[in-house]
Amino acid sequence: MEELLRIKNLKTYFPVKKGRLAKRFSVVRAVDGVDLTIYKGETLGLVGESGCGKSTLGKSILRLIEPTEGEIYFKEKSLLSLSDYELRAKRKEMQIVFQDPFSSLNPRMRVDSIIGEPLAIHSLAEGKVRERIVELLNSVGMGEDALKRFPHEFSGGQRQRIGLARALAVEPEFIVADEPISALDVSIQAQIINLMKDLQDKFNLTYLFIAHDLRVVEYISDRVAVMYLGKIVEIGESKKLYDSPRHPYTQALLSVIPVPELEAKKERIVLKGDIPSPISPPGGCAFHTRCPVAIERCLHEEPLLREIENGQKASCHLA
Ligand code: SF4
């Protein structure tokens, strides 16, 4: 498999004030030492509870949020060493699709301007802009009649199609899809997921697909990474990870997916308490405060993410 993106020890920390009048700062460790490789043409699903750092990781990879430390290589080129000018040119190859297309599309712009803007920025399709915009609309299942309309005139699903057309305008190779269907009705979600799969085949796209719905992630992903408190705790081929999760956190997440009545009943693993604050994550294994099988060693020794079998990796002393 050809490597498209490699991340080494990526950290994104945010300073926060301790109290309203205090001068001292604490640090939120949103992304806390992530190593990850994404291969050309694959969909890597990224899951975890709200606040685990998955959206921050997606935005840090594209440098929409500046990482604090680490390395990002896209097609062997370091993204963190690029100047602002070089980064703007590189963005053509890497795009993002957001959760809420209503807030990510400018409400005062008509669809032709929304999709035409990236073409103008990168001087693409000169002399044939209108044809190119119509072609892009067609590729996401929309027609010319959308050109002069505003975002509020469309349904949520149609707005997400417009968001995809805008992302595709610059012919990217890599798309970070940040909860792209979470704001949509369930009936529309499958349409957008299937559209994304079709577009991937047609344009040879690579996706980092961020979501909290584990069934959707299983459906679309070739591999899945599970995040907890800013770190990847398990990663592997989708089927293997869903059939045989090795990290207790993954096991708990998968145990609460509703299954059809005819399937064997699974035992639900209910995690105690909330996810700890990323300002002061627990020492040792950061999951030990909620782990149903924690042992003494977990309190003071951090487990490394290591290969368990056939490329499946987990960070747990007992895996
Ligand atoms: Fe649980 Fe210990 Fe494994 Fe962490 S290392 S997941 S606390 S068993």
State the pLDDT at residue 22: 63
| pLDDT tens for each residue of 114-161 | 999 999 999 998 889 999 999 999 999 999 999 999 999 999 999 999
Q: Which atom of ligand 1 is nearest to 291's Cα?
A: 1
Q: Name the residue with the closest Cα to ligand 1, atom 8.
A: 294
Mutation test residue for ligand 1: of 249, 295, 296, 305, the one with most atoms within 8 Å of CB = 295
pTM equals 0.93
Q: What is the pLDDT of residues 258-287, one digit of tens each?
A: 766 656 566 788 888 788 888 989 999 999
CA of 263 to the centre of ligand 1 (A): 29
Residue 23: pLDDT band (50, 70, 90) is low
What are the domain boundaries of the chain?
Answer: 3-93+172-314
299 has pLDDT over 70:
yes
The rounded Å distance from CA 274 to ligand 1 centre is: 16
The proportion of the chain whose per-residue pLDDT surpasses 90, expressed as a percent, equals 76
Per-residue confidence (pLDDT) for residue 213, from 0 to 100: 87
Give the residue whose CA is nearest to atom 5 of ligand 1: 316
Split at pLDDT 50, 70, 90, the class of 202 is: very high
For residues 11 and 32, what is the distance between their CA atoms, to the nearest angstrom? 5
What is the per-residue pLDDT for 212? 87
From 98-112, 156-170, 189-203, 289-303, the region with the lowest mean pLDDT: 98-112
Which atom of ligand 1 lies nearest, measured to the CA of 285?
Answer: 4
- Which pLDDT does position 256 carry in this prediction? 82
Q: How far is the CA of 285 from the centre of ligand 1 (A)?
A: 6
pLDDT score, position 274? 80
Residue nearest to atom 7 of ligand 1 (CA): 288
| Ligand 1 atom nearest 249 alpha carbon | 6
Question: Between the CA of residue 114 and those of 134, 154, 161, 164, 222, what are the distances in Å?
Answer: 12, 14, 12, 11, 31
What is the CATH code of the structural domain delimited by 3-93+172-314? 3.40.50.300
CB 69 within 8 A of CB 9: yes
How much is the pLDDT for 257? 80
Mean pLDDT of 39-62: 95
Q: Is the model's pLDDT at 5 over the cut of 60?
A: yes
pLDDT (0 to 100) of residue 16: 86
pLDDT confidence bin for 17, thresholds 50/70/90: confident
Ligand 1 — pocket residues by CB below 6 A? 247-248, 285, 287-288, 291, 293-294, 298, 303, 316-318
Who's near 69: CB < 8 A, 6+ residues apart? 9, 10, 11
What letter represents residue 188's amino acid? I
Q: Tell me the average pLDDT of the chain.
A: 92
- How many angstroms does the Cα of residue 261 sit away from the middle of ligand 1? 31
Predicted pLDDT of residue 100:
75
Tens of pLDDT, residue by residue over 76-116, are: 999 999 998 899 888 899 999 988 767 778 999 999 999 99
Percent over 70 (pLDDT), the chain: 95
96 membership: H or E segment, kind and range: strand 94-97
Residue nearest to atom 3 of ligand 1 (CA): 316
Which residues have CB under 8 Å from 278's CB, separation 6+? Answer: 28, 29, 30, 32, 51, 53, 229, 230
Q: 317 CA distance to ligand 1 centroid (A)?
A: 6
Å from CA of 294 to ligand 1 middle: 5
Q: Which of 13-22, 166-175, 181-190, 250-259 has the highest mean pLDDT?
A: 166-175
pLDDT average, residue stretch 236-246: 95
* pLDDT of 250 above 60: yes
Is the pLDDT at 302 greater than 80, yes or no?
Answer: yes
Q: Report the atom number in ligand 1 closest to the C-alpha of 247.
A: 6
> How far apart are the C-alpha atoms of 28 and 32, rounded to whole Å?
9
CA–centroid distance, residue 127 to ligand 1 (Å): 59
**What is the 231 CA–ligand 1 centroid distance (Å)?**
14
